[in-house]
Structure 1
Amino acid sequence: MLQISVLYFQKNGVTNGSLYKKTFIEHFEQAPMYVAVLTFVGFGVGTIFGYLRDFMRAWGLEKRNVAQEREQQKDFVPLYQDFENFYTRNLYMRIRDNWNRPICSVPGPQFDLMERVTDDYNWTFRFTGRTIKNVINMGSYNYLGFAETDPNALKTVTKELQKYGTGICSTRQEMGTLDKHVELENLVAKFLGVEDAMVFGMGFATNSMNIPALVGKGCLILSDELNHTSLVLGARLSGATIRIFKHNNMQSLEKLLRDAIIYGQPRSRRAWRKIIILVEGIYRYVHFKRLSVLYRF
């Protein structure tokens, strides 16, 4: 697994770097209204049938396939809350065959799946012995290809392991900074066209622990509404004021930023000590890890 977070700073605004001279104009297709309506209607219908099936299970009209408390344990604190498992029992089970699919090859751009079928509506599965070949991989952490069997890549990995070992065994602040760290940070800063960059090897801790070190009381955080939990947690731990803008919507962000600069802090109207915009490089629609990027103004 590889998870990298990058923090980079630019005093005079944000630039796309020297490699890109043209302005990026992104367009995101909006789902038609009827799609949104039918989606919510389908969810509502599934919920209604879920309550009906729970009623039938309670009266013994339908078999219970999930864990439940024994009669001898009714006086103890319950281990299973029926309502908390409602989604798993009645909605997730309908599409469970799409998740947790076992593979039988290396997790490259394509891999092989073990075919499985169910005889009890996705409560249990059995393997057929057949293999589904060349399925597109949309959710692997194998960014650098280390899990594959390319001879050239394995030679490079072996050479670097012999030189640097398998781990640093120290923090970056103490004795954990290698020449490769410095080289990577310089390369990232050059690519982004900014003054400097810091590269971290772990995303969640980077976001949740470093954001409180950058901002605090009297600061403002403008956060994308679809930011990862690590960014949300770090923002809350910082004690800074948090305002949310619509996902990838520059007009919404610009309005919040303009109001923050013009009006300042509530009541006192003093200027914010810092204003930080929190966005992600890759949002985890299909469980992709991301580059967490902080722009400082």
Structure 2
Amino acid sequence: MANAGGGDFCSGNLHNHKKQSDGLQSGNCRKNGMVEEAQEHGKPHFNHKLLAESFEEAPLHVLIFTYLNYGIGTLFGYLRDFLRYHGLEKRNAAIEREQQKDFVPLYQDFENFYKRNIYMRIRDNWNQPICSAPSAQFDLMERVSDDYNWTFRFTGRVIKDVINMGSYNFLGFAVKNNESMETVKDVLEAYGVGVASTRAEMGTLDKHKELEDLLAKFLNVEAAMVFGMGFATNAMNVPALVGKGCLILSDELNHASLVLGARLSGATIRTFKHNNMQNLEKLLRDAIIYGQPRVHRAWKKILILVEGIYSMEGSIVNLPQIVALKKKYKAYLYVDEAHSIGALGPTGRGVMDYFGMDPGDVDVRMGTFSKSFTATGGYLAGRKELVDYLRANSHSALYATSMSPPVAEQVIRVLKILMGLDGTTQGLQRIQQLAKNTRYFRQRLKEMGFITYGPDSSPVIPLLVYLPSKVAAFARHMLEKKIGVVVVGFPATTLAGARARFCMSASHTQEMLDTALEAINELGDLLYMKYSRQRKSVQPKLCDETSFELNS
């Protein structure tokens, strides 16, 4: 597959990057060269001022109290470990028998310190089982713990009509008894539940081919290939694209699946600061000038790994400038659109659609079906040569079970709705409603004085809580008000970056959002969570249609 510079992705026959070193050393690499290049081609570019404002830092006293909170928790943790060691307190964590301790330890005592003493105290906020479709409202199984969250028991009570503010049900397709789902039922009856084979053997069905052809048309690319698991789409296919002698430049906040895939590839990995184009350009320039360590040969390939929307930050990739850098330095670009496909752009085609860019500007386009499409699995898309290469070399194609036929039909159903092939404008209406809900919810949170991350268009909305004690209290109080939220803390975030993460959906009504906002506002006052120093005055009319124009 040829990139912008004419190289072949699959064979690795790139132009010698070191040929550019003379020009780079002579000062031709202007700091803002990629910005000017993007503007010259008429492409929109990311507003760095907006990005800075969307990542407001916490006041100093909040950070001090957060670290004090962890410090006090650590002291009490050591005290409790002392009591457990001497048998004065029951030890619930798994331990080794005495005769095993002389060998390699099975349980790392120090590494599990946080889990024993802090995580277990707030564990009731995770993995709560629901017993209905995860739509705008769901039913939640009530559970309690008699041993400080080490084990749980079901009370037999179901909490009805909990407002769902945490699922990645962006377009609201996670519903039951929908007439358009009859086709999924028909495929289930005709094909069964599973395939019981890999794509490379007996596991490729006509439904898979139909899905891939429709997906390629939706993404405006030459070809696409689908896989049964989104995580494995990254973890098992990055190693098929790069290997020893190649360089991966990875955003520091990339998902664990990208991180694992990069490590498994055997390529050299260097991370750049999140969405920081100056840092990325410096790494690209150094890679071309100095080549591989010790031998200083030119890299076989340089692959940039980024995401469309970052699931913990809610930020959108600075794609126009990354594409400009990629073209300037003859690198390759791999974009993970797990959270952006279906959720961004005037037609829901993701971050490329959002910025109005040529689909050919990205070499490898990846996405999942577990968010906007409310199914499972993932895809890779791009030029036909790339997809043909992956069919023969992808670990997922060779060893993993194929996508379930009813799941494939669910994705086909959603794609047809988004593309208007069902004869309705339902897909466009859902995309517009999601954009409207997103902007409304973000605007209200800012006006209340909360610190949130990400631009106004991102449907993933992190609300910074910081203190671990407040994380637990916030989630529990919200559930008492019949609002389900996702709270995230260390180690999924930085130590001082605990947060609640809201995900907008086209199925959220104005009444649902206002109910959630009222509860958030009340708890913000109760728990002193309104840390923002950029609070705006509340406007009397917050849902002005002109405020929700789609980014074109």
TM-score category of the 2 structures, normalised to the smaller one: 0.7 to 0.9
Indicate the residue corresponding to 2:262 in structure 1: 235
Indicate the residue corresponding to 2:440 in structure 1: none
Distance 1:155 1:185, change over 3 A: closer
Residue 285 of structure 2 is aligned to residue 258 of structure 1:
yes
SS of alignment partner, residue 75 of structure 1: helix
> Partners of 1:65 and 1:170 in 2: how far apart?
42
Distance 1:209 1:113, change over 3 A: closer
Indicate the residue corresponding to 2:161 in structure 1: 133
Unaligned runs of 5+ in 2: 6-42, 314-335, 342-360, 365-552
> Partners of 1:237 and 1:124 in 2: how far apart?
35
Residue 77 of structure 2 is aligned to residue 30 of structure 1:
no
Greater alpha carbon shift after TM alignment, 120-129 vs 241-250: 120-129
Cα drift, residue 124 of structure 1:
5.2
8 Å CA contact 1:115, 1:128 repeated in 2? yes
* Partner deviation per Cα, 1:242-281 (whole Å, 9 max, x = no partner): 1111223333223322332344333444432211112234
User: Which of 100, 107, 120 is 1:76 aligned to?
Assistant: 100
Residue 124 of structure 2 is aligned to residue 90 of structure 1:
no
Q: Tell me: higher relative CO, structure 1 or 2? Use CA pairs within 8 A at least 6 residues apart.
A: 1
8 Å CA contact 1:107, 1:142 repeated in 2? no
Distance 1:189 1:140, change over 3 A: closer
Distance 1:63 1:251, change over 3 A: same
Per residue, is there more helix in 1 or in 2? 2
Amino acid at match of 1:12: A
User: Which of 130, 135, 139 is 1:112 aligned to?
Assistant: 139
User: Which of 229, 248, 252 is 1:221 aligned to?
Assistant: 248
8 Å CA contact 1:277, 1:296 repeated in 2? no
Distance 1:217 1:121, change over 3 A: closer
Distance 1:222 1:194, change over 3 A: farther
> Partners of 1:258 and 1:31 in 2: how far apart?
30
**Alignment map for 1:42-61 (pairs within 5 Å):** 42-61=69-88
The alignment of Structure 1 onto Structure 2 pairs a total of residues equal to 277
Distance 1:187 1:260, change over 3 A: farther
Distance 1:120 1:132, change over 3 A: farther
**Alignment map for 1:279-294 (pairs within 5 Å):** 279-285=306-312, 291=338
Amino acid at match of 1:224: D
> Partners of 2:210 and 2:172 in 1: how far apart?
17
* Partner deviation per Cα, 1:178-200 (whole Å, 9 max, x = no partner): 45444544454455454544332
> Partners of 1:182 and 1:86 in 2: how far apart?
49
Over the matched positions of the two proteins, sequence identity in percent amounts to 62
What value does the CA root-mean-square deviation take over the aligned residues? Answer: 3.9
Greater alpha carbon shift after TM alignment, 241-250 vs 251-260: 251-260
Cα drift, residue 22 of structure 1:
4.4
> Partners of 2:184 and 2:293 in 1: how far apart?
54
Distance 1:190 1:10, change over 3 A: farther
* Partner deviation per Cα, 1:96-120 (whole Å, 9 max, x = no partner): 2212223232222321223445565
Distance 1:185 1:37, change over 3 A: farther
SS of alignment partner, residue 122 of structure 2: helix
Residue 231 of structure 2 is aligned to residue 204 of structure 1:
yes
SS of alignment partner, residue 84 of structure 2: helix
Runs of 4+ residues deviating >6 angstroms: 140-144
8 Å CA contact 2:239, 2:262 repeated in 1? yes
SS of alignment partner, residue 284 of structure 2: helix
Amino acid at match of 2:278: Q
Distance 1:190 1:149, change over 3 A: closer
> Partners of 1:194 and 1:255 in 2: how far apart?
31
> Partners of 2:260 and 2:251 in 1: how far apart?
13
